[in-house]
Amino acid sequence: MKESNSTTDPIGQNLIKLISNVCFSVFVFTVLIFTVIAITYQPPDPWESSRALTRVFTQVKNATFQTDSSILKTGEDMTTAVAATPEASPNASMDTITEAVIEKSEEKLRNLTVRSDCEDLFALNCSDPRVLIAIEKFNLKTFKSIVFLEYQTPVNGSRPSECDVAWRFRNKKDKSWRKYRDFRRFRIGHGENCTFKVINARGWHSGINARRPRNRFNMTKSGENAKVAPLFRDDEINDTIPVLGSDMVFRKGKYLYYSRGGDYCKGMNHYLWSFLCALGEAQYLNRTLVMDLSICLAATYTGSKKDEEGKDFRFYFDFEHLKEEASIVEEGEFVGDWKKWDKAHKKKIPVRKVASSKVTPMQLKKDKSTIIWRQFDAPEPDNYWYRVCEGQAAKYIERPWHTLWKSKRLMNIVSEISGRMDWDFDAVHVVRGEKAQNKELWPHLDADTSPDALVPKLQGMVQPWRNLYIATNEPFYNYFDKLRSHYKVHLLDDYKELWGNTSEWYNETRLLNGGRPVDFDGYMRVEVDTEVLYRAKTRVETFYNLTSDCKDGINTC
């Protein structure tokens, strides 16, 4: 028995050792796999949802961007709906007028005034708080799409029974905190229990006695006697260029300076994609971006059909908001301060010149030079700014879309158009232009957007005799006349006076342009059309509702 045991024990021990070795090998191999995964794993990018929104800007072919002159988005269009509410925005007014606020005001009035009769109602005093309460109730009931902010005290209208009142507001579909103004005339009557009620209200900007005062002085056009609108600056817009200040302030700063590259005079989509790459790199490097406010507008958007230089960034985008959200300095101010320093000091400003976009932002992260100067001297397409943010850099640089909003001056025109339709309108986006003529890529678009085709399609989506705004690049004004038999049709050109030489926009942009008139160009038209379209109650799209053709041509759906 002992001999047999001595022969079998080594076999059992060897088997146990073999199993142990196998288990240990599996453990080691498992640890190795997890180690490799841990090293190479890239967690989901929390900005991915924002990137999805920006794909409209990334349709690249032959290293340049395709121009879609129909819908153009900026940062306020990409902000989440939560940020649009007054309570969610840090800059929003806390004076939002709601039914609860009105009830509290009424309760205070009841506690302060006890009357046995309502004799004082017959002599209308527009400054009576009860008048304002009646107007607030009427507005909340009438304008469901508006968030009402602070009101001014009503003033007398043109008749004893009328009161004019101004207020600030924003549309509920606005994704920004910006405020707009309206002032209307109301006919006031008597309600129950010593209250007032609104008998009727006139239209947008009808309450001229409540309009804000302005510094007025008339200017005449050169060589003519015709008067134009008075010059003034809107106190709600701050387009001033930030100044660095003293030499020491300039010297202590850190700057990222982009020389003009091949992006100049390209389409606006291309410009936005490149500019926000530069701004994103500046934020990644914790530097101030040196910004050229001069834009070259591509021929696609100009009346001359040629590229036009010398356009001001502030014509199209909200410079005040950009200044608040990002660290920037205007190129002219920056270069002037740089020259002053070099002239006044023996020790020159430390500058790191970067000749190639292949030098990544990560390689510049620890650079201590006062100025990092990216120079784009390579031939196209290697001299495009957005090349800096490609490849590995895309994991580190986030384009700050939230910094870029449309011009407040253009948005004032949007509010004016929407307000004239009492914020109660539907809209259809009709893409035509060159796409309608290109039968190879869009074989059905021309026929599907013809007046004969539009009428039956819209009748199935929009109620008859509604206000219908048509956002379109169709150049012929009368093209949509057949729709006028079914709807109250509105086109952008119906509102030409809003940018004509008697308009606020005309004179405010002229001030920015050194006294020279500014053309209301194709890009401005698209911006305004787009924003009015977004505010419609029912929105009909070309490539989703009117035609089966694909938005980007055949086989791209």
**Is 56 inside any structural domain?**
no
What are phi and psi for residue 189, nearest 5 degrees? -125, -170
**Is 552 inside any structural domain?**
no
**Is 39 inside any structural domain?**
no
**533 shares its domain with 498:** yes
Please state the domain count of the chain.
3
pLDDT of residue 250: 81
pLDDT of residue 111: 64
The residue segments making up the domain with residue 438 are 408-546
Indicate the residue among 403, 423, 453 that finishes a domain.
403
Is residue 468 classed as helix, strand or coil in its secondary structure?
A: strand
Q: How far apart are CA 376 and CA 374, in angstroms?
A: 7
**367 shares its domain with 340:** yes
**364 shares its domain with 391:** yes
What's the pTM?
0.81
**388 shares its domain with 443:** no
- In the chain (557 residues long), the average pLDDT of successive 10-residue segments reads 50 69 72 56 34 43 47 65 41 65 76 57 84 94 92 94 95 86 94 85 94 57 44 69 74 93 93 96 97 95 93 96 94 91 87 94 95 93 94 95 94 96 96 92 96 95 97 95 97 97 93 94 95 95 93 86
Q: Can you say whether the dihedral through the CA atoms of 249, 255, 259, 265 is positive or negative?
A: negative
Task: Output the 3-class SS for 486-501.
Answer: CCEEEEHHHHHHHCCC
**319 shares its domain with 180:** no
Indicate the residue among 189, 210, 231 that finishes a domain.
210
**342 shares its domain with 302:** yes
**381 shares its domain with 518:** no
As a dihedral over the C-alpha atoms of residue 484, residue 486, residue 487, residue 490, rounded to 10 degrees, the angle is -20
**309 shares its domain with 375:** yes
**Is 84 inside any structural domain?**
no
pLDDT of residue 94: 44
- CATH label of the domain that carries residue 480: 3.40.50
Which positions ≥6 away from 316 have C-beta within 8 Å?
Answer: 268, 295, 406, 407, 410, 523, 524, 527
